[in-house]
Amino acid sequence: MKLYNTLTRKKEEFKPIDENEVKIYVCGPTVYNYFHIGNARPFVVFDTLRKYLAYRGKTVKYVQNFTDVDDKIINKAREEGVSAAEISEKYIEEYFKDAKALNVDMATVHPKVTENMNEIIAFVKDLVDKGYAYEADGDVYFSTRKFNDYGKLSKQNIEDLESGARVEPDDKKKDPLDFALWKARKSEDEPAWPSPWGLGRPGWHIECSVMSTKYLGETIDIHAGGQDLTFPHHENEIAQTEAKTGKPFANYWMHNGYITIDNEKMSKSKGNFFTVRDILKEYDGEVIRFFLLSGHYRSPINFSRELMDQAKSALARMQNAKNNLKHLAATGAASALSEQERQQLEEFAKYKQKFIDAMDDDLNTADAISAVFELIKDINTATRDGASKEFAGKCLALLDELTGVLGLLRDKEEDGAEIDEEVRRLVEERQEARKARNFARADEIRDILKARGITLEDTPQGVRVLLSTDKG
């Protein structure tokens, strides 16, 4: 498998430190609100990477943090007249609800900043003791110029950074490029912890360094996140971590591209800021996931109603293919595989290889999805006039295998959701009405279901329930 490494600016063969366990750290959310569609992209992309590595036989230790102390959390708490802890706990809980809707698995560990304060303080103290950091009136800053490789991830020259740096009038930093490791408490309502430098809280960058090294070790395989984190967040992580350990922090750095909204940058001021919670009111979580995987993860992707409707329609075609196979697996001929079916199954193996080749090429989910649709096309052709139960079952297993890697086409039973009993009841009632030759009631039920995006197809083997591919 080849992955594009932001550090080297090229695709490289992925070689984990330990063949038996891949260690991945992904930057998680700052929990002061529902996460937005831009946040969702790295969550879905790197969850897919994790699923694919597991599919290829790797054990993955996957850490994704929660930043649960931050200026944004404190300000939100002030606005609502509650504690910062209440805000962060509320939105951690809401994160898991929306992540589940997107079929994003829980990480191996979800560490919180507030639960790792002792480790953070010890890490900062070590940097001070080593001469890489200094205290100034209760704040602690990292001396950027003392780390010789600063800028190696973002490919920025320190002199160029200096020319663009702003110096605030009350700035206590020795150098405008230095960044905060520890912040002194400024007001009584600010969460604060005792430290060698007085009451305060960590800076943003130090948190990920501490939690990554604590749970994954001093050098990890993959550090991932959104493109916007490359500088300064990840650059600063590298500087402070490698200054402390003297070892490479991560061997591979992966960054997903930006999301635009109707070809414009997402911003609250423009009124084009969408949380996943907002989008879930109109689209299923799997539609969102499909949309986010429909382009290469490093390319920018544009979010629009038109593209979401296209994703909805494409996913419905996928789902209908699965439903058809489930129907045939239950009602098809009980005979053994015919020679033609055997040959067809051998032919379908090429799509599995195309899928693997695409995913091995820097997680190319767009081409992987194309391979799945090619498979579906051939399966639909092969089963147009029916099929044996065994053939349908094997086709279904292959389809489930590939879509499962992408986190798509979950059975509702698997997801813990109940089957829609009302739909089932209406289908059964329609069948009884047809037997009783009450065609008016049968047609009425068909129309009721159609209005809900469900189409019924009568076949010799029974009724097939299809999801509508209409936009809307």
Query: pLDDT (tens digit, 9 = 90+) per residue, 360-370?
Result: 999 999 999 99
Q: What is the pLDDT of residue 468?
A: 57
Closest CA to 209 of 178, 256, 184, 245: 245
Q: Which of the four pLDDT bands, split at 50, 70 and 90, describes residue 471? A: very low
Burial (CB count <10 Å: 0-12, 13-18, 19+), residue 20:
exposed
pLDDT at residue 358 greater than cutoff 70: yes
Strand, coil or helix: 302: strand
d(CA 39, CA 421): 34
Q: What is the pLDDT of residue 435?
A: 84
Region 155-170: mean pLDDT is 74
CA 246 to centroid of chain Cα atoms: 31
Query: pLDDT (tens digit, 9 = 90+) per residue, 372-390?
Result: 999 999 999 999 989 999 9
Neighbours of 248 (CB within 10 A): 13
CB 348, CB 378: distance < 8 Å: yes
Q: What is the pLDDT of residue 167?
A: 56
Q: What is the pLDDT of residue 273?
A: 79
Q: Which of the four pLDDT bands, split at 50, 70 and 90, describes residue 179? A: very high
Q: Which of the four pLDDT bands, split at 50, 70 and 90, describes residue 43? A: very high
All structural domains of the chain with their residue ranges:
2-127+205-256, 420-472
Query: pLDDT (tens digit, 9 = 90+) per residue, 190-240?
Result: 999 999 999 999 999 999 999 999 999 999 999 999 999 999 999 999 999
pLDDT at residue 93 greater than cutoff 50: yes
d(CA 284, CA 289): 9
* Helix or strand (DSSP H, E) at 269: none
Q: What is the pLDDT of residue 171?
A: 77
pLDDT at residue 76 greater than cutoff 50: yes
What percent of the chain shows pLDDT beyond 90? Answer: 78
CATH 3.40.190.10: does it fit domain 2-127+205-256? no
Closest CA to 123 of 216, 248, 223, 213: 213
Query: pLDDT (tens digit, 9 = 90+) per residue, 283-309?
Result: 999 999 999 999 999 999 999 999 999
Beta-bridge partner residues of 30: 67
Q: What torsion do the CA atoms of 184, 210, 232, 64 make, to the nearest 10 degrees? A: -120
Q: Which of the four pLDDT bands, split at 50, 70 and 90, describes residue 279? A: very high
Ranges of H-type helices in 361-438: 365-382, 389-406, 421-435
Higher pLDDT pick, 354 / 332: 354
Side-by-side strand order, sheet with 264-265: 264-265, 259-261, 301-303
Phi and psi at residue 469, to the nearest 5°? -100, 10
Q: Which of the four pLDDT bands, split at 50, 70 and 90, describes residue 312? A: very high
d(CA 76, CA 86): 10
Q: Are strands 250-256 and 220-226 parallel, antiparallel or unpaired?
A: parallel
Higher pLDDT pick, 47 / 264: 47
Q: What is the pLDDT of residue 412?
A: 60
Angle, nearest 10°, between helix axes 37-55 and 389-406? 130
Q: Which of the four pLDDT bands, split at 50, 70 and 90, describes residue 465? A: confident
pLDDT at residue 443 greater than cutoff 90: no
pLDDT at residue 458 greater than cutoff 60: yes
* Helix or strand (DSSP H, E) at 9: none
**Whole-structure pTM value:** 0.88
d(CA 7, CA 448): 56
Categorise residue 416: left if φ over 0, alpha if ψ from -120 to 50, beta otherwise. left
Task: Point out the least confidently predicted range of 98-102, 198-202, 310-314, 452-456.
Answer: 452-456
All residues at 6 or more sequence positions from 119 whose CB lies less than 8 Å from its CB, including other chains:
210, 211, 214
CB 153, CB 234: distance < 8 Å: yes
